[in-house]
A and B are shown apart, each in its own frame.
Chain A
Amino acid sequence: GAVVSQHPSWVICKSGTSVKIECRSLDFQATTMFWYRQFPKQSLMLMATSNEGSKATYEQGVEKDKFLINHASLTLSTLTVTSAHPEDSSFYICSARDGVTGDGKPQHFGDGTRLSIL
C-alpha cells in the first residue's frame, strides 16, 4: 500500500533555531501533500496544502513566512519552521494522496515529527 515517510521523528532544539521536516511518498507520486499540526489531546489542524511546482496554500492564521513549504518534486515536500520558539512545540504530521480527487483513495499520513523547542 501507499507509504508516506516523514523525517525526523523527534527534534529538540534551542529557541531561535530553524528546523526542517521532510515528507516523502515512497511508492507513489503526490502532486499534493498536506501539513498538519496537532497539540496534545486536540484534533489535527491543517496548516497548508503543498503543491508540487507551485506555492503552498496556507490556512487562515498560519504564517507563511514562519512555516516555509517547498514541494520540489512529486515525492518530496519539506516544512521549515523558521526561528522556532517554545510555542511552536507541537506534533507535525504530513499526508499525501495517491490518486485524483474524487476517488476513494485516502490520505496516508507520515509518522509525524514531535518538535520540542527549549
Chain B
Amino acid sequence: GQNIDQPTEMTATEGAIVQINCTYQTSGFNGLFWYQQHAGEAPTFLSYNVLDGLEEKGRFSSFLSRSKGYSYLLLKELQMKDSASYLCAVRDPNTGFQKLVFGTGTRLLVSP
C-alpha cells in the first residue's frame, strides 16, 4: 500500500517561517498535493508538485524530491489565520492515479 508520514503538530510564532515535512512511500508516483484545512471546514488546494524542485506561490512554497520520497511546505511571514491542518496527499498508483491518498495532516498553531 501507499504510506505518507507527516508530523502531527507544530507550533510557530506570528511573522516566522515554518517548514512542514512529508515523506511518502508509493509503488508509483504521479504528483504530490498540499491542502490546507481549517477546523470544521473542507480542505482547500495549496500546491502541486510533480517534478523535483521548489514551487513558489506567494507566502507558500512547496518542494519535492522524488528520489528521496520527500516534500515540504514552507510558510513565510506567518499569520494567525495560517493556524490550520496541512494535508499532504499523493495519487494512488493502484487506482490509475485516480484517487488521492492523504497523510494524517499536520496541525499548525500560530501564536502571537
Contacts and interface: CB of A to CB of B under 8 A. Distances in A.
Contacts, number: 50
A40 to B, nearest CB: 9
Nearest to B101: A46
Contact of B41 (A43, A106, A111): A111
A109 B30 CA distance: 20
Contacts of B104: 42-43
A49 interface: yes
Contact of A106 (B42, B48, B107): B48
Interface string A56-82: 000000000000000000000000000
A23 B7 CA distance: 32
B72 interface: no
Interface of A: 6, 32, 34, 41-44, 46, 49, 91, 93, 101-102, 104, 106-112, 114
Contacts of B91: 101
A109 B42 contact: yes
Interface of B: 30-31, 33, 35, 40-45, 48, 50, 87, 91, 95-100, 102-105, 107
Contacts of A91: 40
B24 to A, nearest CB: 14
B97 A106 contact: no
Contacts of A107: 33, 45, 100
Contacts of B31: 104
A46 B43 CA distance: 14
B106 to A, nearest CB: 10
Nearest to B104: A43
Nearest to B30: A102
B98 A49 contact: yes
